[in-house]
Amino acid sequence: MNAQAPQPRQRDAIDYAAFRRELVAFVEANCPPGLREIVRSNQKIGREEYAAWQRILHQRGWSAPNWPVEHGGTGWDLQQRYLFEEVAAELDCPPLYHHGLGHIGPVIMHFGTPEQKARFLPRIVDGSEWWCQGYSEPGAGSDLASLKTAARRDGDDYVINGQKIWTSHAHEADIMYTLVRTSNEGRKQAGITLLLIPLDLPGIRIRPIHTIDQWHHVNEVFLDDVRVPAANRLGQEGDGWKCAKFLLDRERLSPAMVPRLIRQLQQVEELIHSRIRADGPSPTLHRALERLFLAQASAMGAREMLLSAIQEEMNGTLRSSKSSALKLHYTELSQQISGLAYDLVAPRYASRLLPQVPAADGADDRDIERQLLHTYLFYRSRTIAGGTSEVQKNVIARDLFGG
Catalytic site positions: 251
CB of 393 to another protein, least distance (A): 7
Collapsing DSSP states into helix, strand and coil, what is residue 307?
A: helix
Tell me whether residue 215 is exposed, middle or buried, using C-beta atoms within 10 angstroms of its C-beta: 0 to 12, 13 to 18, 19 or more: middle
Q: Which does 168 bind (CB under 5 to 8 A by kind): ligand FAD, another protein, none?
A: ligand FAD
Choose which of 41, 63, 136, 182 interacts with ligand FAD (CB under 6 A). Answer: 136
**Residue 313 contacts residue 255 (beta carbons within 8 Å):** no
DSSP letter assigned to residue 93: P
The answer to the question of residue 215 lying near ligand FAD (CB under 6 A) is no
Q: Determine the Cα–Cα distance for residues 91 and 40; give it in Å rounded to an integer.
A: 8
The answer to the question of residue 333 lying near ligand FAD (CB under 6 A) is no
The answer to the question of residue 209 lying near another protein (CB under 8 A) is yes
Answer left, alpha or beta for residue 203, where phi above 0 means left and psi between -120 and 50 means alpha.
left
Q: Determine the Cα–Cα distance for residues 77 and 74; give it in Å rounded to an integer.
A: 9
Q: Which is nearer to ligand FAD, 288 or 329 (CB)?
A: 329
**In this chain, which stretch among 12-20, 34-42, 199-207, 340-348 interacts with another protein, using CB under 8 A?**
340-348
Choose which of 46, 388, 395, 399 interacts with ligand FAD (CB under 6 A). Answer: 388
CB of 398 to another protein, least distance (A): 13
**In this chain, which stretch among 64-72, 151-159, 161-169, 289-297 interacts with ligand FAD, using CB under 6 A?**
161-169
Q: Which is nearer to another protein, 320 or 394 (CB)?
A: 394
Q: Which is nearer to another protein, 22 or 143 (CB)?
A: 143
Choose which of 135, 330, 349, 376 interacts with ligand FAD (CB under 6 A). Answer: 135
CB of 214 to another protein, least distance (A): 8
Q: Determine the Cα–Cα distance for residues 394 and 321; give it in Å rounded to an integer.
A: 9
Choose which of 189, 384, 395, 399 interacts with ligand FAD (CB under 6 A). Answer: 384
Binding mask 253-292 vs ligand FAD (x if CB under 6 A, - otherwise)?
Answer: ----------------------------------------
Q: Which is nearer to ligand FAD, 218 or 302 (CB)?
A: 218
Q: Which does 133 bind (CB under 5 to 8 A by kind): ligand FAD, another protein, none?
A: ligand FAD
Choose which of 27, 35, 391, 396 interacts with ligand FAD (CB under 6 A). Answer: 391
Q: Which does 167 bind (CB under 5 to 8 A by kind): another protein, ligand FAD, none?
A: ligand FAD
Q: Determine the Cα–Cα distance for residues 282 and 273; give it in Å rounded to an integer.
A: 12
Q: Determine the Cα–Cα distance for residues 150 and 158; give it in Å rounded to an integer.
A: 9
Contacts 24+ apart (CB under 8 A), 270-273: 271/341, 271/344, 271/345, 271/368, 271/369, 271/372, 272/344
Q: Determine the Cα–Cα distance for residues 64 and 127; give it in Å rounded to an integer.
A: 10
Q: Determine the Cα–Cα distance for residues 366 and 151; give it in Å rounded to an integer.
A: 45
Which residue's CB atom is positioned nearest to ligand FAD? 141
Q: Determine the Cα–Cα distance for residues 51 and 218; give it in Å rounded to an integer.
A: 19
Q: Determine the Cα–Cα distance for residues 138 and 128; give it in Å rounded to an integer.
A: 30
**Residue 103 contacts residue 252 (beta carbons within 8 Å):** no
**Integer Rg of the chain from CA:** 22
Q: Which does 356 bind (CB under 5 to 8 A by kind): ligand FAD, another protein, none?
A: another protein
Q: What is the largest CA-CA distance in the chain?
A: 73
CA dihedral of 245, 49, 201, 196, whole degrees rounded to 10:
-20
- Taking CA atoms, 2 is separated from 5, 6, 7, in Å, by 6, 9, 9
**In this chain, which stretch among 154-162, 193-201, 300-308, 380-388 interacts with ligand FAD, using CB under 6 A?**
380-388
Footprint (CB under 6 A) of ligand FAD, residues 166-185: 166-168
The answer to the question of residue 142 lying near another protein (CB under 8 A) is yes
The residues that touch another protein, with contacts defined as CB under 8 A, are: 136, 141-143, 146, 165-166, 209-214, 218, 282-284, 287, 335, 339, 343-344, 346-347, 349-357, 373, 377, 380-381, 383-385, 388-390, 393
Binding site for ligand FAD (CB under 6 A): 132-136, 141-142, 166-168, 217-218, 381, 384-388, 390-391, 394
